[in-house]
Chain A
């Protein structure tokens, strides 16, 4: 079919009187033919005039009411549902979701920062201790003594380094956990004199312990070191068996 054939069909189309196949073919043509679409608009106007050929009639007043009821329902839904149905609110909910996500992210970042800062502090402290230990060990006249564990502290071990001025650092590992209110205490033994109390320390959760100490002058010559478990504040004389010691000793 050509354009003129379609054009001839348009008055019947305005009356929706075309048979299905013809209607389908014309609809396809109309999609691509502006001239025929305009023609159809004009014929629709002629067809619409036929409505005036029917006798006007008054519908019941309820129809008007029903229409306006539906419309009011529609309008009230507009007001009630907007939080889901309107683009604006969609965006604002995206906005609040975004704000929540940002808040969560911010918190995570802050917590992460604190954790890193603490880890960094711990690492710095360990590094500082290691440096001090190395510095001490490498200083002129420095000595390093190993401490052996007794049965009380089976697998524990410790090393103490000290220089000529009595600056000492004790590094201990695999120490048993200390009970509440207790701490390990370092002792210096010289000759047959009573043990001189040193400082107390508590190992960390992995059993590692570090203690910096200033040794008593009299202990500088040929000191014997011992570690016992004492009350957290420390004791003046040992109250428990020895956990670690540098040579075999007897209290």
Chain B
């Protein structure tokens, strides 16, 4: 009995400290749609990050609703990433589930001084996705270029906004990368290949692959940074 009292006290205390989860701040000055645009977190990376941090803190305090909210915010981006990596709906959903259960268990490990919640989430999901890919040794499936499933239409307005803003920035940046730099990066990021494997795949010397990958990453960072502070560089 004493324990339950203790637990419920802890719960109510932590909820009280964190407060209701809601978007922070008014319209941002850099809002491209003008001052009367309704609040959409994804249009305002700083605000989205702040509320993401609050969500992670609430999750660390065992707030189930906060996890649901974080899931709703990032499910399409992370599932899109996992589909791109695994090219299999069932497995991508399985890894997506594992990822959010890991978020549930490890939210307290998130360190806001080391990066944004978006980076943390994507890194978790991608790393689990690549692990799954490697353990399956099912690269042949991924290698089937053009055999990828077509993504479903996305209805979520915020995700649409995310897509139109930040996805646009990433697509633009990638479009500006020379193909010889972009390919090693994409093969590493989405197919989980190491530099040696990429060299073999591309029939290029390992040293060349290393140089192109590094040059490409530096260029990508510059291009994204040039687009404003959307990615926190």
Contact = CB atoms under 8 A, between A and B. Distances in A.
Interface of A: 8, 11-12, 14-20, 41-60, 62-64, 66-68, 70-72, 74-75, 78-79, 82-83, 86, 88-89, 92
29 contacts: A11-B217, A11-B218, A12-B188, A15-B188, A15-B189, A15-B213, A17-B198, A19-B195, A44-B115, A44-B119, A45-B119, A48-B122, A49-B170, A49-B231, A51-B122, A54-B81, A54-B190, A55-B84, A56-B79, A56-B167, A59-B76, A67-B67, A70-B97, A71-B64, A78-B7, A79-B4, A79-B7, A82-B3, A82-B4
Given A46-B231, A57-B79, A88-B6, A52 B127 contact: no
A66 B196 CA distance: 38
Given A41-B114, A41-B115, A52-B77, A19 B170 contact: no
A13 B141 CA distance: 25
Given A15-B185, A44-B123, A92-B2, A67 B214 contact: no
Given A57-B151, A70-B101, A50 B189 contact: yes
Contacts of B170: 49-50, 52-53
B214 A56 contact: no
Interface string B193-223: 1111010000000000010011001101100
Given A11-B214, A17-B193, A56 B163 contact: yes
Given A58-B79, A89-B3, A12 B192 contact: no
A43 B71 contact: no
Nearest to A15: B188
Contacts of B67: 67-68, 71
Given A12-B210, A16-B192, A59-B75, 6 more contacts: A17-B184, A19-B196, A55-B84, A63-B79, A75-B64, A82-B3
Contacts of A82: 3-4, 7
Interface majority SS (helix, strand, loop, mixed), chain B: helix
B152 A58 contact: yes
B211 to A, nearest CB: 10
Nearest to A62: B93
A55 B67 CA distance: 23
A50 B166 CA distance: 10
Contacts of B163: 56
Contacts of A57: 76, 79-80, 83, 92, 151-152, 154
Most buried by B among A12, A52, A83: A52
A90 B172 CA distance: 57
A54 B83 CA distance: 8
Contacts, number: 182
A49 to B, nearest CB: 5
B62 A78 contact: yes
B154 A56 contact: yes
Given A48-B122, A52-B166, A16 B115 contact: no
Contacts of B217: 11-12, 14-15, 43, 46-47
A43 B217 CA distance: 8
Contact of A51 (B81, B159, B193, B224): B81
Contacts of A79: 4, 7
A82 to B, nearest CB: 5
Contacts of B184: 17
Contact of B151 (A16, A46, A51, A56): A56
A71 B104 contact: yes
A130 to B, nearest CB: 60
A21 to B, nearest CB: 10
Contacts of B57: none
A42 B124 CA distance: 16
B79 to A, nearest CB: 4
A59 B185 contact: no
A11 B222 CA distance: 13
Contacts of A45: 115-116, 119, 231-233
B59 to A, nearest CB: 9
B110 interface: no
Contact of B213 (A17, A42, A71): A17
